[in-house]
Chains A and B, each alone.
Chain A
Amino acid sequence: MGQEPAIALRGVCKEYRREQIKIPVLTDLKLTVDEGEFLALMGPSGSGKTTLLNLLAGLDRPTTGEVVVHGQDLAQMSEGQIARWRSRNVGFIFQLYNLIPVLTAFENVEMPLLLTSLSKRQRRENVRTALRVVGLEGREDHFPRQLSGGQEQRVAIARAIVTDPYLLVADEPTGDLDRQSAEEILELMEQLHREFQKTIVMVTHDPIAARRASRLLKLDKGKLVGDVIQAQEVAS
């Protein structure tokens, strides 16, 4: 650990086909992210932010090039392998939380653990811990619709960290929240980065959110146009 970078992209190209026409989204991308970095990804719509995020998270494959995460070349893995890999190594946070409406907060957080061989008791402990980290003790039995947006996103974060993944990816995690809740969520992510040394990649449109990250990448038309290591702003 620590020797190799958390994420290494080499010559990554990604293009989509839409009715015979090739649309390049990412072109010849090169990127190295060290373990424990909190990366913010900014750029205008269509710049390839989400595509990059999907590649890192193993949801998508590059057209050409190499995506190595935690020493694994994702392009070499089969669909099934990559799904298993995701379940152990990646935690997802979405803009619209994407909680399962018919499951309680507890059950939502427990979902990724079902894929492990943990016993019911161990699962319960892990879920409780994750909910405590995000500050939602006592809300275990609430359904998503009984929670506020900020709380829903916390549940989603608990779900993302419950398996103690290597990498957290967040796609505009504050995009649908009011300022206050957004602040709290960013706080929480920062805490995860600080206290648990998680590697976090966050796509955002919000410059305030981006300022919380330890490193800021800017994408435009599929190319990296900015890469700044920034001193983290401490919440006032």
Chain B
Amino acid sequence: MKYLVYVFRNIRRNPVRTLLTVASISICLFLMMLLLSYLTINTEVAHSLSDYNRLITMSSQGFTQPVPIANVATVAAMEGIATVGELTPEDKEHRDKKAVSPFSWYGGRYKDDSMPGSQFGIDPETIFAIMVEMKLPPDQLKAFRDDKTGCVIGKKLAKDKNLKIGDPYPLKGTVYEFNLDLTIRGIYDAPENRDNRMCLYHWAYLDEGLKRDFQGRAAGNAGTIYFKCKDAAAMPGLIKKIDDSFRNSSTPTKTQTEEAFAQMFSEMIGDLQTLIVAVGMAVVVSLICVCGVAMAMSMRERTTEVAVLKAIGFGRGLVLALVLVEAVIVSTLGGVVGALGTKLLFDQFDLGSLVPGFLPFFYVPWTTALFGLGLAVLIGFVSGVLPAWLAAQTSVIQGLRKVV
């Protein structure tokens, strides 16, 4: 510890160099945090879903294939599914109804959206019991249930598009021929790691429209079925029972936990994940070189000084340690700015509003931020090894001769 004064003075000796090194590390770590967070969020969110005991049934031929609406009732009749009353005791009206809902992708465009948004046809009587983490005030829930053309949107969507309760929210379909003339009846509030940019509307509104105007083409499709089980233990049995009961129907199903379902989506990015990891590793190696250069240059400028220290009696190990500690401190500074700074930045600033449709939410998970910080420490250590070793090897005689 008593040597730290010297180490810190050395760090401040060439402020431009230290600043440039720190800036270089923080910029690169900022990028790494962006890329890695995207990957970790997917896993982290998927993992957090396991607490909710929710299952999702989709067509065994992929989620673009329809699931008949009749299946919703079949699922609801099964043992082990929670009721609305059990999940939301304040909801007296639908107390005995099973917590099962269709969840059907609409993919409509609002005004001049370039990307279709996330809109889902659901059962307004059950959905907020299934999605317990999505909070909707009771009066808004009632207004939504009472209006067949009503919808509920997420708070971030409301903020992005400057929408409030009572505003019209017309959507042009891309998957369906039927356009939705929705009115906002509620704005839900979900935790930060949930999609706060969805729009939920009455499934029946779309279906009736398709039946009325398009001879029922594409009607009767529940999309997927979301439901909530009484407890986690019942889930494996339920999955098997559901898929077995539809196996020989015209539309076999694939039921999985919400976690597995979310995982499936994040797996889709495929090689891009490998690529991101590869880029990350290249950046780490690059930073090791960059920091190593900075440290090596510092040490070369201090050759005489190191020789003096060694003459005074500083041993090789001590010289080595002093240089390593210096390298680690500088890169850790970069890590603090780059990794923790990025976390703070995105805690304040919502990146999702910049790229609507791609990122419903974005944050830097603590694990990722700390991983980044750890990487910075590692970069400092590895980059310091060569300069430290060279410094430790400095010949006192050569080093002292340089000045004369």
Chains A and B bind each other: yes
Known: A54-B397, A59-B396, A95-B404. A102 touches B9 (CB 8 A): yes
Question: With A and B bound together, what is the CA distance between A85 and B314 in angstroms?
Answer: 10
B contact residues around A107 at 8 Å (CB): 5-6, 9
Q: Does B358 contact A (CB under 8 A)?
A: no
> In the complex the two chains form, is A83's CB within 8 Å of B6's CB?
no
Q: Does B53 contact A (CB under 8 A)?
A: no
Which of B2, B9, B13, B313 has the largest number of chain A CB atoms within 10 A? B313
B contact face: mostly helix, strand, loop, or mixed:
helix
A91 to chain B, nearest CB (A): 9
Closest chain B residue to A156, Cβ basis: B308
> In the complex the two chains form, is B12's CB within 8 Å of A102's CB?
yes
Question: With A and B bound together, what is the CA distance between A107 and B5 in angstroms?
Answer: 9
Closest chain B residue to A101, Cβ basis: B13
Among the stretches A110-118, A128-136, A225-233, the one at the interface with B is A110-118
Q: Does B312 contact A (CB under 8 A)?
A: yes
> In the complex the two chains form, is A102's CB within 8 Å of B312's CB?
no
Known: A57-B311, A59-B396, A98-B403. A83 touches B316 (CB 8 A): yes
> In the complex the two chains form, is B314's CB within 8 Å of A115's CB?
yes
Q: Does A206 contact B (CB under 8 A)?
A: no
Interface residues of A in 43-73 (CB under 8 A from B): 54, 57, 59-60
Known: A60-B397, A96-B403, A98-B403. A83 touches B10 (CB 8 A): no
Query: What string of 1s and 0s marks CB contacts (under 8 Å) between B314-332 and chain A?
Result: 1111100000000000000
> In the complex the two chains form, is A94's CB within 8 Å of B314's CB?
no
Question: With A and B bound together, what is the CA distance between A188 and B12 in angstroms?
Answer: 34
B contact residues around A145 at 8 Å (CB): none
Closest chain A residue to B313, Cβ basis: A87
Q: Does A75 contact B (CB under 8 A)?
A: no
Number of residues from B at the complex interface, CB < 8 A: 26
Closest chain A residue to B6, Cβ basis: A103
Q: Does A120 contact B (CB under 8 A)?
A: yes
Interface residues of B in 52-73 (CB under 8 A from A): none
> In the complex the two chains form, is B3's CB within 8 Å of A114's CB?
yes
Contact size class for A? 20 to 34
Query: What string of 1s and 0s marks CB contacts (under 8 Å) between A214-232 and chain B?
Result: 0000000000000000000
Q: Does A79 contact B (CB under 8 A)?
A: yes
Q: Does B400 contact A (CB under 8 A)?
A: yes
Q: Does A100 contact B (CB under 8 A)?
A: yes
Known: A102-B9, A103-B9. A114 touches B2 (CB 8 A): yes
Q: Does A38 contact B (CB under 8 A)?
A: no
> In the complex the two chains form, is B313's CB within 8 Å of A112's CB?
yes
Q: Does A84 contact B (CB under 8 A)?
A: yes
Closest chain B residue to A107, Cβ basis: B5
B224 to chain A, nearest CB (A): 65
Supply 17 further A-B pairs (C-beta < 8 A) apart from A100-B9, A115-B312.
A79-B315, A80-B317, A83-B313, A84-B313, A85-B313, A87-B312, A87-B313, A87-B314, A94-B400, A95-B403, A96-B403, A98-B304, A98-B305, A100-B6, A100-B305, A111-B6, A111-B309
Pairs across A and B, CB under 8 Å, 23 listed: A59-B311, A59-B400, A60-B397, A80-B316, A83-B313, A83-B314, A83-B316, A84-B313, A84-B315, A88-B313, A94-B308, A94-B403, A95-B403, A96-B404, A98-B304, A98-B403, A100-B6, A102-B9, A103-B5, A107-B9, A111-B6, A115-B313, A115-B314
Residues of A with Cβ closer than 8 Å to B? 54, 57, 59-60, 79-80, 83-88, 90, 92, 94-96, 98, 100-103, 107, 111-112, 114-115, 120, 159, 171
